[in-house]
Structure 1
Amino acid sequence: MNKLMLPLTYILLLLMIQTDDKSSSSYASPAGGNMRLKLIHSQAYALKSTYDQMERIKELVHSDIVRRGTMFSKHHQSTRRKAWEKPRTRTNCSDVSIEMPISSGRDYGTGQYFVEVKVGTPPQKMLLIADTGSELTWMSCKRRNRRRGFRPTRSSTFKTVPCSSRTCKIDFADLFSLARCPTPSTPCSYDYRYSDGSGALGIFARETVTAEITNGKGRATKVEDVVVGCTLTVQGQSFQGADGVLGLAYSNYSFATRASNMFGGTFSYCLVDHLSHKYLSNYLTFGGVGVASHSPLLSHMHYTKLDLATLSPFYAVNVKGISINGALLKIPSLIWAANRGGGTIIDSGTSLTFLTEPAYRPVVGALRWALSKRLERTRLDGGGPLEYCYKYNSTSSRLRFEETWVPRLAFHFSDGARFEPPVKSYVIDAAPGVKCLGFVSAMWPGVSVIGNIMQQNHVWEFNLVQSVLGYAPSTCTSR
């Protein structure tokens, strides 16, 4: 396949950086034991104290479009995929869970969520982008001209993968390993090239990740033999200020499946509002203790089937339709059929929600009709793919914005479950005094994507053993 059309599922940056933020919050998860990673906001790592909200929106839309075009090119062009091995949980870890901090990248000016991860022995703190569309966990390795990054020479558990090995030649082929092998002991290398001109070149290795045990009062445990990429050369703006990606896709080599294999076959996260500051944070959790210990959530949990085969390595859901104020829109059922050129995935690495054209038009048509009766339509400076934007003024009774004006949108799944996001998840703040419909049109045939803004203020639990997705509304700011 053309490396220039590499899946941007790998592109998005898993920033692994040390934080001094001591505040945290978590939620519980309905099953056995688990491991949590705190989802933290990135203000402490911001390149500037303030950012232009409009420029941020335009940048995340651009990144989303590039990402979508590249991530699905891999899925459709890959000539083979390995048979997935169902997670087999370790009995000695079944009553344990681990957690890692996770937060919005709002203060950094990005639309991703960052996870604090401790890699190597002794542990080195990294801040990575949580990406359910990426199979490989990679980070920039520190070189003489870099102030930060992972230092493999300081880790006793860093072990490279030889280029002569079957692992490099066959197993890592889908991870874009290179064929060159000057000597049998030369490390297996990779070269990611993205359609926006960005790229990452490095070597494969296996490493140890350390994480705190949920409710373990400071105790930690290790996830060993994790496949990682040590990126030596980074090109393009897509990686500016980032240390790498935390691979959470459904793959034999992703961190999500490696950690889930140890802790009950599940992982979950709770995404704070995408405009939250760093002190509002939560956790990426591996294991089932999280939701179960937060009893108020249990009565509000909804469950739907995960399709882990048709659009692998992505997490596909079986959408039946979309309703506005309880009435299903006239959208052809073919749009939602993954085996007929359509389908829908849920993706933490994409910010906005993409709908293929036959679904996009009815959805934005219904919403714009309601908003146009109250507000004046406008365009973002410089244009862009956010097609429907409206001016408002919070100090003017005539031009104020009220959520009660907005029809309630819901995703309906084929098994009867329904996901009703809050209004702020699909009518988003794009600039001071401007709100836009947070949908982007995608070409048909193609896959629709439920992005992280649509997922905000909800707990999401991925059960890889039972192929079930659980979700419930939450502030994501308290246990």
Structure 2
Amino acid sequence: MAAPCCHGCWLLPLLMLLAAAGALGAEGASLVLVQLDVESLLPSTAAASCPTPQEQRPGAATATRMPIVHQHGPCSPLADKHGKKAPSHTEILVADQRRVEYIHRRVSDTTGRVRRQKQSAPVELPPGTPSSSTPASSLSSSATSTNLPASSGRALNTGNYVVPIRLGTPAARFTVVFDTGSDTTWVQCQPCVAYCYRQKEPLFNPTKSTTYANISCTSSYCSDLDSSGCSGGHCLYAVQYGDGSYTVGFYAQDTLTLGYDTVKDFRFGCGEKNRGLFGKSAGLMGLGRGSTSLPVQAYDKYSGVFAYCIPATSAGTGFLDFGPGAPAAVNARLTPMLVDNGPTFYYVGMTGIKVGGHLLSIPGTVFSDAGALVDSGTVITRLPPSAYEPLRSAFAKGMEGLGYKTAPAFSILDTCYDLTGHQGGSIELPAVSLVFQGGACLDVDASGILYVADVSQACLAFAANDDDTDVTIVGNTQQKTYSVLYDLGKKVVGFAPGAC
């Protein structure tokens, strides 16, 4: 049974109850505050001690726990060692808006729509594509609950996270974006000379893997794709993203290695024509609910269960787990996964918002009419205007009562504060909680309440959708330090506080 919202029962060192007369209205009700170390959200120049991955031994009963780190942090495998400038906050937020618009279009196109038959889309591959006479290699591999390291990246030019995997036999290592808003996993493949973006690691070479094989056009797996084609009897896939990024290539299968664990005959896109803003990652891991996704393909092994934890800071560590034995699945506050709302995404029933421990006066229909989903790749939580305005107003009133100086709006963020003079110390903020069906609650960690572009411009890390009909999206900034659990079998999403 899901636990109710509970500030103070799990963050006692960070929370305190104070009388803040007038902060949330004339009643002078007590205001629940959280404490934030300002320095933790500012860029760090200090050398970090990078964690050593600790993988489980083969056959172990518990999940492997491996660290995740921020793409531009000191431990990132994709960090530019030659001083190339990281994307600016403005670039990140502009790209985040593009992703949100893409999700809104997809939800609008699919929600409530009668399921229609998929049609194969013509797909053009670049010169040098293997011919139909290319022999398919034999498939084999060995196989328990596992966990991967991940690090923050820029899938579709947004603040997503990446995870190292190994693919093929012998296994080659790749760093890929993981995304709950996508289904099909893919990596860039040789030959790809003129049609691939620049990645950190060498391209996957299918001719060097003894367990690689293309999937036949007549296979039912080919019809699982949203967009498919055929070349010489081999299935082709194509995926286009909201910012114009795309990947095209052969739909294939090979051995996927996650930590010490393996998923044999894993189906993925071997991309030979790829364009877009994927940072320096080798591709993408699809963690959505569709039939081509990793959780669905590996359902027999992991029971459709995975969980991740995004660290509070770019120098912190988190994790990605697979399987019901993962410690991250314990003590999660559960809410129903609404599987009838549409494909791919993880829909939940959001019912309210609390600020300073007080439930805001927002009609339930504001959330239920448009729906809500949890997304690993969206940075800033998006709310219906009719929900965002009460949140913004209550938070601003609380901050005013605490004496903070306001600052100009920044990009899509319109409620900002000047924290100059607070570096090296901590500040108090009104607590913010997101409430879901079943009594589950995400008491946003202090690190996820403000988006700090600069010490003089620290903004409430929420934004309004264009319209109340647009779906609510719970972004990864608000998910920080929580183990976010997805269980396809039990049809629940969960939030376990203080996990990383």
- Residues 39 and 282 of structure 1 are in contact (CA less than 8 Å); yes or no, is this contact kept in structure 2? yes
Q: 1:439 aligns with which of 462, 470, 473?
A: 462
Match of 1:80 among 115, 132, 144: 115
Match of 2:275 in 1: 235
Q: Which runs of 5+ in 1 are unaligned?
A: 1-19, 83-91, 213-219
Listed as ranges, the matches of 1:188-199 within 5 Å are 188-199=235-246
Q: Are residues 35 and 260 of structure 1, via their aligned partners in 2, closer, same or farther at CA, if it must alter by over 3 Å?
A: farther
Cα deviation for residue 227 of structure 1 reads 1.9
DSSP-derived class of the 1:455 partner: coil
CA deviation after TM superposition for structure 1 residue 350, in Å: 1.1
Letter in 2 for 1:135: D
1: distance between equivalents of 2:242 and 2:178?
21
Query: Contact conserved, 2:379 with 2:477, CA < 8 A, in 1?
Result: yes
- Paired with 1:375 and 1:26, the residues of 2 have a C-alpha distance of 45
Structure 1 residue aligned with 2:80: 47
Q: Which residue of the other structure, out of 153, 159, 176, is the alignment partner of 1:128?
A: 176
Query: 2: distance between equivalents of 1:326 and 1:208?
Result: 49
Distance 1:261 1:35, change over 3 A: farther
Q: Secondary structure at the match of 1:289?
A: coil
1:61 CA drift (Å): 1.6
Asked if the contact 2:349/2:436 (under 8 Å) is kept, the reply is: yes
Q: CA deviation at 1:351?
A: 1.3
Equivalent residue for 1:177, pick from 215, 228, 233: 228
Residue 289 of structure 1 aligns with an amino acid whose one-letter code is G
Q: CA deviation at 1:412?
A: 1.4
Q: CA deviation at 1:37?
A: 6.0
Please state whether the residue corresponding to 2:96 is helix, strand or coil.
Answer: helix
Give runs of aligned pairs for residues 40-119 of structure 1, distance below 5 A.
40-42=69-71, 43-47=76-80, 55-78=87-110, 80=115, 96-105=144-153, 111-119=159-167
Q: Hey, what's the Cα distance between the residues in 1 that align with 2:244 and 2:380?
A: 22
Partner of residue 294, structure 2: 255
Aligned counterparts of 2:284 and 2:458: Cα–Cα separation in 1: 30
Residue by residue over 1:425-460, the C-alpha shift from the partner in whole angstroms, topping out at 9 and shown as x without a partner, is 021212243211111211320111111111111112
Q: Secondary structure of the equivalent of 1:136?
A: coil
Matched residues in 2 for 1:26 and 1:424: separation? Answer: 28
Distance change in 2, residues 1:97/1:196 (3 Å): closer
What is the identity, as a one-letter code, of the residue corresponding to 1:376?
K
- For residues 99 and 422 of structure 2, the distance between their equivalents in structure 1, rounded to whole angstroms, comes to 38
Q: 1:361 to 1:99 in 2, by over 3 A?
A: same
Number of residue equivalences: 408
Q: State the Cα distance separating 1:466 from its structure 2 match.
A: 1.1
8 Å CA contact 1:36–1:211 kept in 2: the answer is: no
**Structure 2: distance between partners of 1:263 and 1:33:** 12
Structure-2-length-normalised TM-score: 0.74
Conserved in 1, the CA contact under 8 Å of 2:305 and 2:322? yes
- In the alignment, residue 441 of structure 2 is paired with which amino acid? R
**Are 1:370 and 2:398 an aligned pair?**
yes
Alpha-carbon distance change, 430 to 247 in structure 1, aligned in 2, over 3 angstroms: same
Larger CA deviation: 360-369 vs 142-151: 142-151
How far has the Cα of 1:289 moved from its partner? 2.4
The amino acid across from 1:46 in the alignment is A
Task: Give, as a single letter, the amino acid of the residue that structure 2 aligns with 1:57.
Answer: H
Number of the residue aligned with 1:284: 320
Residues 227-264 of structure 1 deviation map (CA, whole Å, 9 limit, x = unaligned):
2111212223x224232111001122101222343123
Aligned to 1:326: 357
Tell me whether 71-80 or 360-369 shows the greater mean CA deviation: 71-80
Please, what is the CA RMSD of the aligned residues?
3.1
Match of 1:270 among 302, 309, 314: 309
String of CA shifts for 1:168-226, please: whole Å, max 9, x gaps.
3x322x2x224xx453x2x32233334433322222112211123xxxxxxx2310122
CA–CA distance in structure 2, aligned partners of residues 344 and 437 of structure 1: 20
CA deviations 1:106-136 (Å, max 9, x no partner) are 9xx9611111111111111111112111111
Q: Name the amino acid aligned to 1:171.
A: D
1:205 and 2:240 are equivalent in the alignment: no
Q: Distance in 1 between the 2:54 and 2:497 partners?
A: 15
Offset at 1:475? Answer: 5.0
For the residue of structure 2 that corresponds to 1:440, the secondary structure is: strand
Alpha-carbon distance in structure 2 between the residues aligned to 1:347 and 1:262: 24
In structure 2, the CA distance between the partners of 1:52 and 1:333, relative to structure 1 (3 Å rule), is farther
Aligned-partner residue type, residue 201 of structure 1 = V
Matched, 1:473 2:497: yes
Gap change, CA 1:260 and 1:270, over 3 Å in 2: farther
Contact 2:63 2:327 survives alignment (8 Å): no
Match in the other structure for 2:374: 346
Find the residue that maps to 1:63 and give its secondary structure.
Answer: helix
Rate the CA distance shift 1:348–1:289 in 2: closer, same or farther, 3 A.
Answer: same
* Contact 2:187/2:204, CA 8 A, preserved across alignment: yes
SS where residue 478 of structure 2 aligns?
helix
1:464–1:416 Cα change, 3 Å: same
More helix by share: 1
* Structure-1 separation of matches of 2:418 and 2:83: 22
Change in CA separation of 1:121 and 1:72 when aligned onto 2, cut-off 3 Å: farther
Q: Does 1:424 align with 2:447?
A: yes
Q: Provide the residue aligned with 1:456 in structure 2.
A: 480
**Contact 1:26/1:290 (8 A) holds in 2:** no
Give secondary structure in 2 for the equivalent of 1:412.
strand
Instruction: Specify the alignment match of 2:135 in structure 1.
Output: none
Identity %: 28
Tell me how far 1:75 sits from its aligned partner.
3.8
Q: Secondary structure at the match of 1:453?
A: coil
Distance between the aligned counterparts of 1:123 and 1:206, measured in 2? 14
How many angstroms apart in 1 are the aligned matches of 2:356 and 2:50?
Answer: 41
- Give the whole-Å Cα distance in 1 for the aligned partners of 2:96 and 2:417: 22
